[in-house]
Amino acid sequence: MRPGEVQSDVSGTRVASSLERIRPCVRRYSFRLVGGLVALLIVDLLQLGIPRLVKRAVDLLSQGAASQTALAQSAFAIFALAVGIASCRFVWRYLILGFSRMVERDLRDDFFRHLLTLDRPFFQKKPVGAIMALATNDLAAVQLAGGMGVVACADAAIMGIAALACMAYISPQLTLIAVIPMPLLALLTRVLSARLHRRFVKVQEQFSHLTECARNTITNIRLLKAYTQEAPQAEVFGRLGRQYQQDNLRLARVHGTLFPISGLVGNTSLLLVIFFGGRLVVGNVITVGDFVAFISYLYLLTWPMMAVGWVANLFQRGLTSLGRLDEVMNAKPTLVDPPHPLPFPAGQTEIALRTLHFQYEGQEQPALAGVSCTIRAGEIVGLVGRSGSGKSTLCHLLARQYPVADGAIFLNGVDVNRLSLGSVRERVAYVPQDVLLFSDTVAANIGFGNPAASQEQIEGAAKICRIHEEILGFSEGYQTRIGERGVKLSGGQRQRIALARAILLDRPMLIIDDSLSAVDLETEQEIISGLADFLPGRTCLIVSHRIAPLRDAIRIMVLEEGRLLAQGNHAELLASSDFYRTMYHQQQTQSHREEDV
């Protein structure tokens, strides 16, 4: 088998897989599609009747047998057909275009729901801009193919066959002459459609880059302004825009070739019909009315010929976009529930790590290497270490955001891989290092995980996090809208609101991943002390790059290069761990210098 044949087989398999994706949607709304196609068929059949009426009127005029009554009857019949065509055209537009919109909606819902099942590794590989492009531009291309593409294809097929049949009825000889240029159109369409596919893929990929650049720029606009990088960033966006424009122009050249060629073939057929058909009229082989009707049918056939290029373009775009969507829909989460998950064990939550190893994809060194420890139920444990020592990785694993090997993490004596993801995650209140807030009110952000929370409960969580008084100082208090990603707040305010959100969840495990780094040392100590009334009975892991706020923790674990270097309370570690002691003294010295300044 030649390489081209292998590629063709693979492409065919992908197309079949992509089409299989929309089959449930098509089946669900098949009644609309069938009803629309029936209305379209009626339109085409009614259109075929008009040339027959014109033929009758022309023959009567050419024979001198026309009367006002006969001509009025023909005019009324044509008007009645026109009204029927307009009515049925409205019906098929409503049904078929509505069908395409419903398919688009269901695909978008399925796409969004599937995105919610995917985990961190997928989103680390797929830029947000690319996903946004799929949810907008690509879905629009699928909708256009499923709407106007289906209409144009069905209309061209029905009208083409019917018009040819009517033309053949009038004159088989003239019909053969009229279709002589059509094989050329079929050949060129086949050749150009392959180019159309490749260039549309390039256009969609470039649109993804453009969308990602715009998203990244808007998200980081403050940083760009702080570093006076507006002009360079505008140049990057402009360069991507120019490339997108060039890709579209290359695509337009192919599309622009298809449509004129289709028109050229149609007009060539018309030229042949006028030349040879005129001779048939002169020779009395066909009547003048037959000749006029034949040209009318040829005009009806011209649309199917011209539609070949447009339909090919729509379907190639739709199939390309559907294939791009299918790639994401076929992505599988790395974390899945076990076939027969065990019920979550009762009682307060104890965490046990047994020689825990973890390595990120593409990284040479493990992020965690052989970590073993136990965090007893109701215990408050601090976690310290240099940047890159594995602290956040451990938090991610405990929050079940990455897969782990069997026998590495146990909750109440049960391997986490034997528990459902939902049963573990719904027991963990996790405050990530990178705080995420929504463009909504302060109250909505704090109550995000617990929409039924009362105002009193929301304020109680804010008080624990030492942010209540500052919120009251906002223009509208708890109803103040904080902007995109909390842009109106300081870093420390964002972190404390995120912590209040986790506290309001009232879950048995609390993981705070260096989420107070933007507040001053005194406030951080006050918050951790304030957690004392909230934490009894809950297992808590507090990550901090500062040791001082964790001095009162029952136990402190020290990570270095992914290994558990030491553990104990503050006094024990000062006495037994040179690494911990050095870290502590360095931070104390730095703190004194800052106070002196």
Please state the rounded mean pLDDT for residues 159-168.
82
Average pLDDT over every residue of 547-569: 85
Q: Taking residues 272-277, what's their average pLDDT? A: 83
pLDDT reported for residue 594 = 56
Residue 232 scores a pLDDT above 70 = yes
Q: Which residue has the higher pLDDT, 167 or 305?
A: 167
Q: Characterize 472-488 residue by residue with b for buried, 16 or more Cβ atoms within 10 angstroms of its Cβ, and e for exposed.
A: eebeeebebebeeebeb
Mean pLDDT of 554-561: 88
Write the pLDDT tens digit of every residue in 372-428: 988 888 888 889 888 888 888 999 999 888 889 999 999 988 999 999 988 888 888
**pLDDT band at 330; cut points 50, 70, 90:** confident
* Mean pLDDT, residues 178-197: 73
Q: Is the pLDDT of residue 56 over 70?
A: yes
Q: Which residues contact 165 (CB under 8 A, 6 or more apart)?
A: none
Residues 6+ apart with CB under 8 A from 82: 50
Whether residue 186 has pLDDT greater than 70: no
- pLDDT band at residue 593 under the 50/70/90 scheme: low
Question: What are the structure tokens assigned to 555, written together?
Answer: 């136990």
Give residue 6's pLDDT.
36
Percent of the chain's residues with pLDDT above 70: 91
Between 59 and 469, residue with greater pLDDT: 469
Output the CA–CA distances (angstroms, integers) from residue 342 to 125, 359, 405, 418, 423, in the order listed. 32, 27, 17, 6, 10
Of 86 and 64, the one with more pLDDT: 86
Residue 194 has pLDDT above 70, yes or no: no
Residues 504, 457: contact at Cβ < 8 Å?
yes
pLDDT, position 18:
66
Write the pLDDT tens digit of every residue in 459-500: 988 888 888 888 888 888 889 888 777 777 888 888 888 888
Give residue-wise pLDDT tens across range 4-23.
443 444 355 556 666 777 78
Handedness of CA 126, 132, 138, 142 (dihedral sign): positive
